[in-house]
Amino acid sequence: MTTHVLILCTHNSARSVLSEGMLNHLAARLGKDVRAHSAGSAPSGRINPFALEALQNAGIDTSACRSKSWDEFSTNSAPPLSIVITVCDSAAAEACPVFFSGNGQPVKVHWGYPDPSNAEGGDEGKRRAFELTRQAIGYRMLQLLALPLQTLGRDALQAALVEIGHS
C-alpha cells in the first residue's frame, strides 16, 4: 500500500516543491512505495525558478511540478494521506483543513526551513540558499524513508517524525 505524504507551505512555490521533488526522487531510487504531493494554503500559481533549478541540478525531473491549493487534497478523489508535513512557519500556524485517509486523519508534523527566496546576495545567494535547503530537505526525507512506514503505529510514527524534525 502506497504511503501518501502531503507537504504544505503557504505559496507552494519553493520549500514544499523541493520537498515533493526530493521525496519522490529518493523513494523511487530506494524502491520505496511512498508518493509525495505538495500544496499551499494560498498557492502563488508559479514555482520559484530557483527551486526548479536546484531540483534539475540534482537530476530530478520537474516537468510535473505545479503550484496547487491544498483544497485538491480534501476531496473524495484525493489520495489517502498518511502524513502531512508543514515546511514553513506561516503554514504551521494556519488552520489546516481536515484531511482524512482510509485510516482516519493523517499524522501531522512541522519541519521548518528558512525561506530561501529571502536569501541575500542576489541570484547567486538565492541559488546557494535553494541548494542548501534542497540538501537539508533530502537529509530528512532519507530519514523518513528509512522508517518502517507500513508497520509503525500512529503514535510511533508521530514520535519518529518529530524526532526527524529535530535532526
The predicted pLDDT at position 156 comes to 97
Residue from 5, 7, 9, 157 carrying the catalytic annotation: 9
The predicted pLDDT at position 100 comes to 53
Active site residue 9: yes
Active site residue 65: no
Active site residue 88: yes
CATH number at 102 reads: 3.40.50.2300
Average pLDDT over residues 14-38: 97
Judge if pTM exceeds 0.85: yes
Domain that holds residue 159: 3-165
Kindly report, residue by residue over 8-22, the tens digit of the pLDDT. Answer: 998 999 999 999 999
Residue from 83, 88, 119, 157 carrying the catalytic annotation: 88
Residue with cell 504551521: 92
Q: Which long-range contacts (CB under 8 A, 24 or more apart) does 145-150 make?
A: 145/23, 145/26, 145/27, 145/30, 145/32, 145/34, 149/3, 149/32, 149/34, 149/82, 150/1, 150/3
Count of domains forming the chain = 1
Residue from 42, 58, 78, 96 carrying the catalytic annotation: 96
Kindly report, residue by residue over 58-80, the tens digit of the pLDDT. Answer: 999 999 999 999 989 888 888 99
Kindly report, residue by residue over 83-111, the tens digit of the pLDDT. Answer: 999 998 655 555 555 555 555 789 999 99
Q: Is the pLDDT of residue 34 over 70?
A: yes
